[in-house]
Each structure stands twice: as C-alpha cells, then as structure tokens.
Amino acid sequence: MRLIRTLANVTAAGMLLASAAFPAAAADAIKAGSITNSPPMISYASDGTTLQGAIVDLAAAMSSEMGRKIAFEPIPFPGLLPAMEAKRIDIVFSLMNDTPEREKLIDFVDFFNLSTMLLIRKGNPDHVDSLETLCGKTVSTVQGSTQLALVEQASAKCTAAGKPAVQNLQYAQPADARTQVQIGRVAAFLGNAPVMVYLAKTAGNGKIFDVVRGHVYQPVPLGIGVAKSNTQLRDALQKSLNVLIANGTYRRILEKYGIEGGAVTSATINGGANLKL
C-alpha cells in the first residue's frame, strides 16, 4: 500500500509539473485576424468557406510545429489593429507590412518580402506606365495600407510640376478596390505584388487585368503582428517559422503558389524598423 501511495504521489506531482510547463491556455487556438480575399496569399476556395493560400498553409505548418492551432478570423484590413488592441485576436496573420509606424504599436515576426505593383485594366486603356504617369488620374487603395504614402508622394510630385493631383479612392476590402479598376472607375489599384501578378494571370482567364511590368515599389517585410506584451507567443512563432525555413517546408509552400521570389532566409523580429516609406 505504501508503494501504491508513493507512486500515486509521484504521478500527481508529475501532473502538476506538466501543468506548470504546459498551462491550459497553451491548448487554446491562437486567434489570427486576417483579410480573406487576397489570393494566392489567403482567400476562400470555391465553396466560400474553406480558406486557402500561402498564409493558410504556413499557418497549418506552424501549428503542427508549435502544437497549437492557428485559427483565422476574417476582419477587414482597417479593423485588424483595433481587434488586436481589444484582444479579440492574438495575432495579425495577413498582408500587413512591417513598418516603423506599426512597430510603435505591435511587434512583427517577418516571414516574406513584399512590394507594391500597379494593377490596371487589360490593354492599359488609361495609359498607366508608372507612378509618374498617374497625374490627373484616379487610383484605388486599401484603407490604412502603406500604399497610401505612395499615392501621396506621387501626387505631390505631380502638383510640384504644375500637373493635376492624383485622386485616391480608399476601400476597406482589397476586392472592392480592385473592382474599381475592372469597371473603369479608376486607372489603377496599388496593391501587394504577389496578389497583383496572380490576379493579372487568373482573373477571367487573364482577360481582365494587367500589371505594370518593370516597376516595383516600396519593398518591405511582411510580418505576423503580435502584441508587444506577448513576447512568449512572438518568440514561439519565430522559432516555428525558422524550423520550417531550415527543413524546406517554407520554401515548398511558397513554390506551390509561385511566390518563392519573396522568400526570406530567416524569420526576423521587427525587420522594418529602418524603412523609409
């Protein structure tokens, strides 16, 4: 009986130690806010409910590595940071650039190199060849995006040269901003390069959009946003990404979607600190 009691005590002690090492919260899903209409990074499949894309595959692989599921919650881009501030979500895993301004609010685990391209109508009827050719034209962007600064800079150059300013229509959802190009309301949409190239290739079997080739703007790291107070989660995300980079899983995911050109060699924290946007 004494032996049984001893074993029982050891078992109970072991369970307490396990509980301390792996608190109950660790079993909970990591709530990730994201826009959900930017293929090939993240979008709904044809069934309208299944999320797919490079970000989704990366999240699944990271979940397996960490032993904790990353679960997505659809949120329009302007609402992502407020949702984190309100603690509705744990992370932002979306197309959010890591910039010095955003680093004042949250930390970033950088997982991709991003840039901006101009999406235009097929055949380029508005004769958009670069930012410099936007004077007097109307463009669309996503509210709160880094592309706003590009439009402002381009417009300022236009007016300084005595030319008409660039008009900017801002939308909460990238899909709405892109639609303005399709219907001819705007001459161009300024968006993230992998998405622009993908849409030019696939939308309407490649008959709706083009991208302006030879002009890539605003190179910037793409990061997973984490609250500054949650360094444990931030470091766990970084560690899991670096494992995936080292074992080749990360590269295979990017190659699956044809975006390996934006691959990073390691997941860094707050790599956008010194960017000049």
Note whether 183 and 238 are same-domain residues.
no
pLDDT of 46 higher than 90: yes
Q: Name the token pair of 201.
A: 């290739």
* Alpha helix stretches (DSSP H) within 104-223: 147-160, 174-182, 193-202
Q: Name the token pair of 193.
A: 């390069």
Note whether 124 and 48 are same-domain residues.
no
Domain boundary residue among 203, 218, 233?
218
Look up the pTM and report it: 0.84
Residue 12 belongs to a domain = no
End-to-end CA distance of the chain: 73
Note whether 161 and 96 are same-domain residues.
no
State residue 276's pLDDT score: 76
Residue 4 belongs to a domain = no
Note whether 54 and 133 are same-domain residues.
no
The total domain count for the chain is 2
Find the domain containing 176 and state its range.
116-218
Residue 5 belongs to a domain = no
Q: Which residues pair with 37 in a beta bridge?
A: 43
Maximal CA-CA distance, the chain: 95
Residue 259 belongs to a domain = yes
Which letter does DSSP use for residue 213 in this model? T
Note whether 126 and 263 are same-domain residues.
no
pLDDT tens digits, 158-210: 999 999 999 999 999 999 999 999 999 999 999 999 999 999 999 999 999 99
In angstroms, the CA 3 to CA 276 distance is 69
The amino acid occupying position 170 is Q
Q: Of 83 and 16, which is predicted with more confidence? A: 83
Note whether 120 and 78 are same-domain residues.
no
pLDDT of 17 higher than 50: no
Burial of 215 by CB count in 10 Å (0-12 exposed, 13-18 middle, 19+ buried)? middle
State residue 97's pLDDT score: 95
Note whether 76 and 202 are same-domain residues.
no
pLDDT tens digits, 97-129: 999 999 999 999 999 999 999 999 999 999 999
In angstroms, the CA 225 to CA 9 distance is 43
DSSP line for 91-119: EE-SS-B--HHHHTTEEEEEEEEEEEEEE
Which letter does DSSP use for residue 121 in this model? E
Q: Name the token pair of 209.
A: 């959009």
Note whether 91 and 142 are same-domain residues.
no
pLDDT of 73 higher than 60: yes
Note whether 170 and 99 are same-domain residues.
no
Residue 6 belongs to a domain = no
pLDDT category, 277, cuts 50, 70, 90?
A: low
Note whether 163 and 253 are same-domain residues.
no
Note whether 139 and 188 are same-domain residues.
yes
Residue 18 belongs to a domain = no
DSSP line for 44-72: E-TTSS-EESHHHHHHHHHHHHHTS-EEE
Residue 265 maps to which CATH number? Answer: 3.40.190.10
CA distances from 205 to 122, 171, 197, 200, 201 (A): 12, 25, 13, 9, 7
State residue 275's pLDDT score: 82
Q: Can the peptide bond before residue 76 be classed as cis, meaning omega within 30 degrees of 0?
A: no
Residue 16 belongs to a domain = no
Residue 106 belongs to a domain = yes
Note whether 140 and 229 are same-domain residues.
no
Q: How far is CA 239 from the centre of its chain?
A: 19
pLDDT tens digits, 245-258: 999 999 999 999 99
